Amino acid sequence: MLKFILKGLLRDRSRSFFPILIVTAGVMVIVFMASYLDGFVRSMLNQNARFETGHLKIVTNAYAENISQKPYDLGFIDMGDEMDDWKKDFPGIRWTPRIYFGALLDVPDSIGETREQGNVFGLAVDLKDETVVDDFRLQESLVRGRLPQKPNEIILSETLFDKLGLALNSTVTLLGSSFFGAMSFANFSVCGTVTFGVEAIDRSGLIADIEDVRTFLDMQDGASEYFGYLPGGEYDDETVQNIKQQFNAKYNLGDEFDPVMLALTDQNDLGFLLLYMKFAMALISFVFVIIIGIVLWNAGLMNGIRRYGEFGLRLAMGESKGHLYGWLLIESLVIGIIGSVIGAALSIVAVLYFKDKGFNFSAILKDTSMMVENVIYTTLNWKNVLLGMLPGIMATILGALLAGLGIFRRKTSQLFKELET
């Protein structure tokens, strides 16, 4: 029967060409869009994981309450043994300490009095760890100078550096508040400048080695946040949720300074955003099914008119209406499968091209505070390909289901009369 249907579709091109074309185009769009959205989400997750959230993050309960204010005085201190326990319990996870802090950066004149001042958003990371340098793409982000190599060297955002009229190797003083609330001063040398494309950091950012900042803030062996990264570097929500549950059950006993683990999706509304993206994708698929379904319904009706005589003859020869209707549905299924396969194949070619080349949005994103990489690469995911093909098949069946209903309105008693005309 399938052979017979295929012969019919191939020999009568007007029966198959237009529906296949529509399904091909639709599936291609939906698979490509899903792959692009996946790439966008992946980029957003990576960027957030690198700068803001980690795949996992450990903070104190007190810190978690006001996490948006980054209150480092509610962070961790003297962490030697505890850190070792975490590493033992969750091997394979890469842990890295960070301190976010605010301070006043003061530029002295020749007699050591204030010449210029600016507020800075400080980020202290372990610069001796090359993976951390890679996480931030520090080397690539350098505008001038070099990365800190000696104690008490810092890099500043290019914007702040310009604003304060600094030169490389200038000595500046940071005035802040220590972990215990005392006034804290330290001199640093500016060895380089960076631009990340992340507005908050580019406006007034300062990056320093964590050991120097620990001394400055009186946070011996401490950190405000510990970032954790899964092996392989890609975020996997199921694994992360599992680790989080185990960690919190063991270590978070309710004291305000007990550690609490947060997943990436618990931070920056990323959980909601991921859910929203899934919903958006489902909505796109649904709208696709409806629109293509209506187009194919219309095509089916036109086809029904064109094949009016054929259907009448088949009914007159004794074929039941149900059988004829079923035949039409099978025809549409075959069309749907052929169109979807062609559409998916074409979309895979496009996805593979942009997986390598990417879409460069640097001109658009330069003034936004969105945590997204400048170049978005599509992601080839077989789940997306299959999910794109499914609406293609569903739409053709929906179109045929509606268009074929006309068969049941034909009156057998009038068939010969119709055939005569």
Partner 1 sequence: MKKLNIIMILAFALTQLCAAFPEGEELLRKIDANMLSNTMKAKTTMIVQTRRASRTMVSNNWSQGTDKAFSEYTAPAREKGTKMLKDGDNLWIYDPNTDRVIQISGNMLKQSVMGSDLSYEDMMEETKMQESYAAVVTDETVYEKRDCWILDLTAKKADVTYQNVKLYVDKERFLPLYQELYAKSGKLLKTYKVQEVMQSGQRWYPKKVLYKDELKSGKGTIFIVDRVEFDVKIPAHIFTKAALRK
Binding site for partner 1 (CB under 8 A): 62, 73-74, 104, 106, 108, 112-114, 117, 119, 173, 175, 177-178, 180-183, 185-187, 218, 256-257
Nearer to partner 1, 61 or 268 (CB): 61
Half-sphere exposure of 363 (CA within 13 A, CB side): 2
Q: How far apart are CA 289 and CA 285, in angstroms?
A: 6
Nearer to partner 1, 5 or 62 (CB): 62
Q: Are 259 and 251 in contact (CB under 8 A)?
A: yes
Query: Which two tokens mark 225?
Result: 């946040």
Give the shortest CB-219-to-partner 1 separation in angstroms. Answer: 12
Q: Which amino acid is located at 255 in the chain?
A: D
| Pairing mode of beta strands 183-194, 153-157 | parallel
Q: Are 144 and 167 in contact (CB under 8 A)?
A: no
Sorted by sequence, the CB contacts under 8 Å of residue 327 that are 6+ apart come out as 5
Nearer to partner 1, 137 or 203 (CB): 203
Nearer to partner 1, 159 or 178 (CB): 178
Q: How far apart are CA 208 and CA 200, in angstroms?
A: 16
Q: How far apart are CA 249 and CA 83, in angstroms?
A: 17
Nearer to partner 1, 257 or 416 (CB): 257
Give the shortest CB-119-to-partner 1 separation in angstroms. Answer: 7
Q: How far apart are CA 86 and CA 95, in angstroms?
A: 9
* 3-class DSSP assignment, residue 60: strand
Of 172, 258, 183, 173, nearest in space to 217 by CA: 183
Question: For residue 308, what is the enclosing H or E element?
Answer: helix 308-316
Nearer to partner 1, 59 or 74 (CB): 74
Give the shortest CB-183-to-partner 1 separation in angstroms. Answer: 5
Neighbours of 167 (CB within 10 A): 7
Nearer to partner 1, 1 or 183 (CB): 183
Give the shortest CB-344-to-partner 1 separation in angstroms. Answer: 56
Give the shortest CB-182-to-partner 1 separation in angstroms. Answer: 6
Nearer to partner 1, 132 or 186 (CB): 186
Nearer to partner 1, 58 or 217 (CB): 217
For the chain, the C-alpha Rg in angstroms (whole number) is 31
Give the shortest CB-104-to-partner 1 separation in angstroms. Answer: 6
Q: Are 260 and 61 in contact (CB under 8 A)?
A: yes
Give the shortest CB-65-to-partner 1 separation in angstroms. Answer: 9
Give the shortest CB-133-to-partner 1 separation in angstroms. Answer: 28
Q: How far apart are CA 337 and CA 316, in angstroms?
A: 31
Give the shortest CB-72-to-partner 1 separation in angstroms. Answer: 11
Nearer to partner 1, 114 or 245 (CB): 114
CA angle 133, 138, 139 (to 5 degrees): 100
Give the shortest CB-157-to-partner 1 separation in angstroms. Answer: 19
197: left (phi over 0), alpha (psi -120 to 50) or beta: left
CA angle 361, 132, 87 (to 5 degrees): 130
Q: Look at the chain and count its residues.
A: 421
**DSSP one-letter string for 158-223:** HHHHHHTT--TT-EEEEEEE-TTS-EEEEEEEEEEEE--S-HHHHHHEEEEEHHHHHHHHT-TT-B
Nearer to partner 1, 119 or 369 (CB): 119
Give the shortest CB-177-to-partner 1 separation in angstroms. Answer: 5
